[in-house]
């Protein structure tokens, strides 16, 4: 079945919601990374305490970081709910599989954020799940940018997001660098944020005609 046989209204609706939720989890993630980095700089002893499994009183920046992480989780939940709907309207098995890979990837990223709250081992679990999640994202968008049924504009959007995901993965790895990692990751995320939005808008604009 060709993509032109589908209804463009749900396509535009779901991609529009996806774009809105990207704003939520990206902005919250950027501020969370900044607040977390400031907290670690002002309270370096908390890093050693976390590694030893001890509880330390949280600072205001640590609290703001936690709030931002909760908003990130909420944004991701809304995102993958709409991705799930986007999966359902794909017209070929190959496109559905690719979109489902993206859906699964965001579930892994949500689990990673939750795992990060676990004392001592949370940081390691977060990094492992984030790497797996982003690799899954790359797999999904790589397939969609070569889709035989998507329009040229939609495929171009998938290609932009594919390239952006590589940078996001690099930023996640860089974020483990003490003190400066959080700031560098936030900077990368902020720059790539606009490219990802552009990619999804191209996908939205590439909705099938009726």
pLDDT of residue 65: 87
Are 27 and 67 in contact, with CB atoms under 8 Å apart?
no
pLDDT of residue 45: 54
Under the banding of pLDDT at 50, 70 and 90, the label for residue 3 is very low
In-domain check, residue 163: yes
Q: Cα 206 vs. chain centroid, distance in angstroms?
A: 22
In-domain check, residue 21: yes
Q: What number is the average pLDDT over the span 175-192?
A: 85
Q: Which residues contact 188 (CB under 8 A, 6 or more apart)?
A: 167, 168, 170, 171, 174
pLDDT, tens digit, 9 for 90 and up, residues 14-64: 999 999 998 998 889 888 888 888 887 887 655 444 444 444 445 788 888
Q: How many other β-carbons are positioned within 10 Å of the β-carbon of residue 180?
A: 12
Lowest mean pLDDT of 8-12, 82-86, 130-134, 201-205, name the range.
8-12
In-domain check, residue 207: no
3-state secondary structure of 149: coil
Looking at the chain, the whole-number percentage of residues with pLDDT higher than 90 is 38
pTM: predicted TM-score of the whole model, two decimal places: 0.75
- Domain span at residue 154? 3-201
Number of domains the chain is built from: 1
pLDDT, tens digit, 9 for 90 and up, residues 96-107: 999 999 999 988
Lowest mean pLDDT of 13-22, 80-89, 201-210, name the range.
201-210
In-domain check, residue 89: yes
Ramachandran category for residue 11: left, alpha or beta (phi over 0 → left; psi -120 to 50 → alpha): alpha
Closest CA to 130 of 172, 71, 187, 81: 172
pLDDT, tens digit, 9 for 90 and up, residues 166-177: 999 898 889 888
* Confidence check: pLDDT of 208 > 80: no
In-domain check, residue 126: yes
In-domain check, residue 209: no
pLDDT of residue 48: 47
pLDDT of residue 95: 93
In-domain check, residue 13: yes
In-domain check, residue 206: no
């Amino acid at each position: 079945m060709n993509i032109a046989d589908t209804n463009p209204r749900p396509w535009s609706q779901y991609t529009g919601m996806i774009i809105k939720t990207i704003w939520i989890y990206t902005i919250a993630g950027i501020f969370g990374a900044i607040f977390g980095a400031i907290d670690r700089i002002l309270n370096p002893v908390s890093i050693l305490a976390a590694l030893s499994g001890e509880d330390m009183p949280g600072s205001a920046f640590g609290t703001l970081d936690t709030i931002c992480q909760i908003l990130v989780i909420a944004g991701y939940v809304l995102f993958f709910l709409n991705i799930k709907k986007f999966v359902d309207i794909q017209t070929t098995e190959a496109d559905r599989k690719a979109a489902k890979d993206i859906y699964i990837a965001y579930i892994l990223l949500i689990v990673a954020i939750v795992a990060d709250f676990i004392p001592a081992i949370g940081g390691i679990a977060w990094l492992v799940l984030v790497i797996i999640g982003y690799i899954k994202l790359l797999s999904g968008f790589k397939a969609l940018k070569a889709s035989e049924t998507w329009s040229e504009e939609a495929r171009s959007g998938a290609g932009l997001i594919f390239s952006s995901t590589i940078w996001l993965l690099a930023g996640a790895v860089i974020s483990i660098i003490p003190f400066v990692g959080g700031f560098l990751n936030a900077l990368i995320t902020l720059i790539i944020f606009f490219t990802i939005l552009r990619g999804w808008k191209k996908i939205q604009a590439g909705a099938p005609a009726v």
